[in-house]
Amino acid sequence: MTDATGGTLRRRPAQRRSQERVERMLDECARLLDEVGYDALTTKEVARRAEVPIGTFYQFFSDKQGLVKALAQRNLDAFLDRVTSRLAAASPSGWGDAVDLGIDEFVDMKRTTPGFGVVDFGEVVATPGGPAVPGTQRMLDAALENNVVVAARLRSLIADLLGLPAADGMARAFLVAVEAADAVLKLAFRAHPDGDPELIAECKRLVRRYLADHLS
Residue 7 belongs to some domain of the structure: no
Whether 3 shows a pLDDT value over 50: the answer reads no
> Do 54 and 93 have their domain in common?
no
The residues, ordered by sequence, that sit 6+ positions from 177 with a Cβ below 8 Å of its Cβ are: 99, 151, 207, 210, 211
Q: Tell me, what's the pLDDT at 163?
A: 74
pTM of the complete model: 0.90
The CATH number of residue 185's host domain is 1.10.357.10
Q: Where residue 40 sits, what CATH number does that domain have? A: 1.10.10.60
Instruction: Answer for the pair 182, 175: CB distance below 8 angstroms, yes or no.
Output: no
Q: What is the pLDDT of residues 6-40, one digit of tens each?
A: 456 756 665 788 799 999 999 999 999 999 999 99
Domain that holds residue 97: 72-215
* 208 in any annotated domain: yes
Q: Say how many domains are in the chain.
A: 2
What pLDDT digit, counting tens, does each position of 138-180 carry?
999 999 999 999 999 999 888 887 776 666 688 999 999 999 9
In this structure, the answer to whether residues 55 and 117 fall within a common structural domain is: no
189 in a structural domain: yes
pLDDT in tens, 186-210: 999 999 999 999 999 999 999 999 9
Q: Are residues 85 and 128 in the same domain?
A: yes
CA-to-CA distance for 185 and 200, rounded, in angstroms? 6
Shared-domain flag, residues 45 and 95: no
> Where is pLDDT greater, at 95 or 81?
81
Regarding whether 165 and 76 lie in a shared domain, the answer is: yes
